[in-house]
Structure 1
Amino acid sequence: MALEGVVQLILSLIQQHGVIAVMLGMVIEEVFVPVPSPIIPMAAGFLLLDATTLPAAVVQAFFLIALPASIASVLSSYFVYGIAYYGGEPIVRKYGKYLDISWEEIQHLEDHFDSGREKYYVAIFRAIPIVPLSLISGSAGLFKMDWKQYGIWSFIGMVPRNFVLALIGWWIGSEDYLRQIAGLIDNLSTLVLVVAVLAVGSVIAYRKARDIYMMLIYRTA
């Protein structure tokens, strides 16, 4: 479905079902469909906040949108987290050799990730609207971050993210502007994902080229 249709569907569902649609949208985005998650709290802020002053909008955005949306997002993110947590090692051990990646190397990265700073990484990246949430959930699961710490710090990151986005939606006050910003965020999220894939691909390509070079040097020695 094109982004225009996704935005229209989200607006229609939130208009009909309110906060329930917001929470369900966050669950669907985390688990099934690659819907740019910033669109949901922005649309909710546009449709559900009836405040006429900023202080009133702040209170409504926090309790009506940020809290329930963040709870739904974090709980549903355990789906991707769990797949990566329990399925990451078997997959890497079975198919990692084709990408020149071993589970021992993943464990080495896990030791760095488990330095005590991982919770801050999770909170910071979850608070950035253009970072795809599934990347964060999957990475935390693959590196076997403690599930309680993951949940707490994911929530800490999601609350300001959803709160600010809801206020932006309220402040915009125009469906046309909402669509334009949604398109911009979608493009930026796609760019982040592409950069992440290219970065991983570049590392794999470099290591493959290095192995081939070393093999040729060994044969000609």
Structure 2
Amino acid sequence: MVLFEFLSKYIVDLICAFGYPGVVFLMTLESACMPVPSEIVMPFAGFAAQQGRLDFFWVGMAGSIGSLIGAVLSYAIGYYGGRPLLEKYGKYFFITKHEMDVADAWFKKYGARVIFISRLLPIFKTFISLPAGIARMDFKNFTIATFVGSVPWCFALAYSGVLLGENWSLIEEYWIYVDILTVLCVLVFLGYLGYKALKFKKISDAQKEARGIRSK
């Protein structure tokens, strides 16, 4: 609670002092894996727009631009720092070069969709850029998907601030439940994918074994 109050005051003061650049700066930090929740930044900026201190459209755009800048920074860290470290030390964490190549191919094929969807999900939107950089996803596709996914998120949160008015901070009190639900849904989905992959592997192994018996 003390941390929340400190962050809220810091965020509010920064936006009041610097306006749109403050929103860009704070959303850059959030997308660069810093503990600055967009659920505080954008609703307050939306409230400021409702009060006539800022323009709603430029509030949403400032948040989206900041999200893109922070995401690019995280991508760059993963691209230039993460991959070499994994290639050198990944074996100690059971991460092989083959698995990295599979991740590269997967991001190449599905990366844009994954990035777009992740930008709409609490928690995951903050951290998805790092693995995208490690997998060296196509940068153009990454930036487009990141920006397009950030726009509806930023505008929706800003609009919540417009609707709630002076009670804009209420959204943070209830957003924790959305975070928990999102994590649970993603874990269930990953569990399902793991189950399907294991089932497919067993079927594949059985088919190989059957072919081996027939060849004898």
Q: Partners in 2 of 1:6 and 1:185 — Cα distance?
A: 15
Residue 92 of structure 2 aligns to which amino acid in structure 1?
Y
Other-structure match for 1:90 = 84
Partner of 1:164: 156
Question: Matched residues in 2 for 1:187 and 1:152: separation?
Answer: 29
Higher relative contact order (CA 8 A, sep 6+): 1
Partner of 1:145: helix, strand, or coil?
Answer: coil
Structure 2 gaps, min length 5: 195-216
Matched residues, percent identical?
30
Contact 2:71 2:146 in 1 (8 A): no
Distance 1:48 1:153 in 2: 27
Give the Cα–Cα distance (whole angstroms) in 2 for the partners of residues 158 and 26 of structure 1: 10
| Structure 1 unmatched ranges of 5 or more | 52-56, 204-221
Paired residues of 2:83 and 2:135 also in contact (CA < 8 A): no
Are 2:27 and 1:33 aligned?
no
The CA distance in 2 between the partners of 1:192 and 1:98, in whole Å, is 31
1:118 corresponds to which residue?
Answer: 111
Counterpart of 2:170 in structure 1 is 180
* Count of equivalent residues: 188
SS in structure 1 at match of 2:128: helix
- Shift in alpha-carbon separation, 1:89–1:13, aligned structure 2, 3 A: closer
Asked if 1:7 corresponds to 2:8, the answer is: yes
Query: Which whole-Å CA distance do the structure 2 matches of 1:95 and 1:134 have between them?
Result: 25
Tell me, yes or no, if structure 1 residue 137 matches structure 2 residue 134: no
Q: Give how far 1:78 is off.
A: 1.3
- Corresponding letter in the other structure for 1:162: C
Q: Which of 103, 108, 116 is equivalent to 1:109?
A: 103
Work out the CA distance in 2 between the residues paired with 1:193 and 1:90.
29
Amino acid at match of 2:103: L
TM-score (norm 2): 0.75
User: Is the 8 Å Cα contact of residues 110 and 144 (structure 1) preserved in structure 2?
Assistant: yes
Two-structure CA RMSD over aligned residues (Å): 2.8
In structure 1, the residue matched to 2:197 is: none
Letter in 1 for 2:102: H
Residue 195 of structure 1: how far off its partner (Å): 9.4
Cα offset, 1:192, TM superposition: 6.0
Structure 1: which amino acid aligns with 2:58? L
Structure 1 residues 194 and 97: CA distance shift in structure 2, 3 A: farther
- SS of 1:127's equivalent in the other structure is coil
